[in-house]
Chains A and B, each alone.
Chain A
């Protein structure tokens, strides 16, 4: 993994954002659709020990929960395919998890186009995972367009990290 992954011990998901979403355990997700204005319960889940291959922490940090894309592209890079092959392997080994794949774009584009582009990126990941043997019903996609950048600078160094698709694990065998 060439990029740092936040070592979150807990992921708090606001009840509102999770009302239709399964509980989300990802470290590099969109931060949820929730916010200060939300209400409801907070679900707390341990991510586990990254040395335990069956843990979420292991998936996020060792397998790698994300792939990056070139400008305007949704084509998987060779590095991306390698990460996704590892994700597929992990998902097939750990049948108790489903995943939501979040597609994102950098800020260089209109809101509408970036929503469509993020969906295209998420679908590229979904299709690859299915081609590797992951059951389609365990995967779902969402696009955040340019709404949830990971890095906030307005330079290519940040844009490159924002053009991403993140596989966020969720409880249950289907989404």
Chain B
């Protein structure tokens, strides 16, 4: 059964990074202020007021200039850390990318940061350049004067890259806007749900379907370079881990041992190994498959359920879920396998642990007193924080910068439906990701190159 879907992912978007555009002359600095800065995780934050001047059309840009400014603003405001001052409140108009910036006009409306930009289009080539300004110091933020060039098809990615640079300069964190999310698109009634794989920009735009809904598909995961996807498929009639090439949509089952079922796959950080659960004869354990040699090794060996493995970013350890004590709890073991050490200690049931790409935290699903939560804890299980609560929240996935989580939220009852939500690691900025229909099992890609 070949998929009828064509590969319509953006292919070969080249983003030339021209660092250090000639800077325009800026007014001499009279008094040195602290540069604009937001520290994530430091208590309640008042969103920083910023101004995004409409990007200038430097030739052939048409709607792209306005749309790119809009996406930059949406990315930054979507973090909950920034508040864009409406354009009709701007005193100054930026009419030329290289003209002197009237910083006093932007100070007057209390913009801490000003983003200026310009777009030009020639044929299917688009060039986007921008500067992020420290308004109160009257300077360009260091390293925030860049140019991106590529095909017009990738225009949203360029807007995301602009926003990623601004976000990074001000928070000191890595960006995450130029990323994709693979997820399960759902339709149909609760007792006969149809599921198909789809991929979208992190903000819900540019949805593409990767499979049809002929078979149940579950829990897709991106490879560390974003070019492959692992998921569980019932296409053979039984649940099996499937590996898909995102560009060609070619796919193959990883394991065909009769009498077993395989699920809950994840890549190792080097992309060469897949860890997953294999169930046989009523017992589920964790295995590792070397993708190049085909070598299979068993990492856990217990009569209980061991599932949901996730590597530490250095590849040395695996966090997983086991019900060996009677309820599901979270354990950490060496990547070579073993019994593991329990790290979850609170009341309730813990599952779907995922190691942060920064290595500092483990996100998880917690079920307690009839509610589900998404939470984070340190890798030794300390400092547990619950970020959400609802009838059913599950399956967190980390943004590439390890500062935001996306997860599935499902409502109760016969009409219950799943949707995608995100929250930052401080528990703020909880919001639904817009999707065409019900959606579940999101998995974030790495930051795109």
Give the B-binding residues of A (Cβ under 8 A).
14, 16-21, 31, 33-39, 72, 74, 107-113, 115-117, 119-120, 122-124, 126-127, 140, 142-144, 147-154
Contact = CB atoms under 8 A, between A and B. Distances in A.
Contacts of A115: 218, 232, 239, 261, 263-264, 277, 279, 307
B394 to A, nearest CB: 5
Contact of B219 (A111, A122, A142, A148): A111
B391 A154 contact: yes
B441 A150 contact: no
A95 to B, nearest CB: 21
Given A16-B215, A20-B236, A112 B351 contact: yes
A95 B92 CA distance: 86
Interface in B209-265: 212-216, 218-219, 232, 234-239, 259, 261, 263-264
Given A112-B307, A152-B191, A20 B214 contact: no
Given A109-B351, A116-B284, A147 B218 contact: yes
B420 to A, nearest CB: 14
B336 interface: no
Contact of B194 (A36, A72, A120, A143): A36
A33 B194 CA distance: 9
Contacts of A153: 413-414
18 contacts: A16-B1, A20-B238, A31-B191, A37-B212, A38-B214, A39-B1, A109-B328, A109-B367, A110-B351, A111-B218, A116-B307, A117-B305, A120-B282, A120-B284, A126-B282, A142-B261, A147-B193, A151-B191
Q: Ordered nearest first, which 7 A-B pairs have the shortest CB separation?
A: A123-B282, A154-B412, A21-B237, A116-B284, A110-B351, A20-B237, A119-B279
B28 to A, nearest CB: 59
Nearest to A143: B261
A10 B178 CA distance: 51
A168 to B, nearest CB: 12
A148 to B, nearest CB: 7
B283 interface: yes
Contacts, number: 148
Nearest to A34: B214
A33 B367 contact: no
Contacts of A123: 281-283
Nearest to B259: A140
Contact of B284 (A37, A119, A142): A119
Given A109-B367, A116-B279, A150 B191 contact: yes
B277 A116 contact: yes
B394 A149 contact: no
Interface in B384-431: 391-392, 394-395, 410, 412-414, 416
A57 B213 CA distance: 30
Contacts of A117: 305
Contacts of A17: 214-215, 234, 237
| Residue with the greatest number of chain B CB neighbours at <10 A, chosen from A37, A72, A144, A149 | A37
Contact of A149 (B191, B194, B236, B282): B191
B193 A119 contact: no
B147 interface: no
Contacts of B236: 19-20
B211 to A, nearest CB: 9
Given A37-B214, A148-B191, A113 B351 contact: yes
Given A35-B188, A143-B239, 19 more contacts: A18-B237, A19-B237, A20-B237, A21-B237, A21-B238, A33-B237, A35-B192, A109-B328, A109-B349, A110-B365, A111-B352, A115-B279, A116-B305, A119-B279, A120-B283, A143-B261, A151-B191, A152-B416, A153-B413
A147 B261 contact: no
Contacts of A142: 237-239, 261
A74 B264 CA distance: 21
A154 B415 CA distance: 10
B194 A35 contact: yes
Contacts of B281: 123, 127
A110 B323 CA distance: 13
Contacts of A119: 261, 279, 282, 284
A112 B323 contact: no
B242 to A, nearest CB: 13
A106 to B, nearest CB: 11
Nearest to A124: B282
A37 B194 contact: yes
Contacts of A127: 281-282
B14 interface: no
Contacts of B367: 108-110
Nearest to A158: B414
B284 A36 contact: no
B78 interface: no
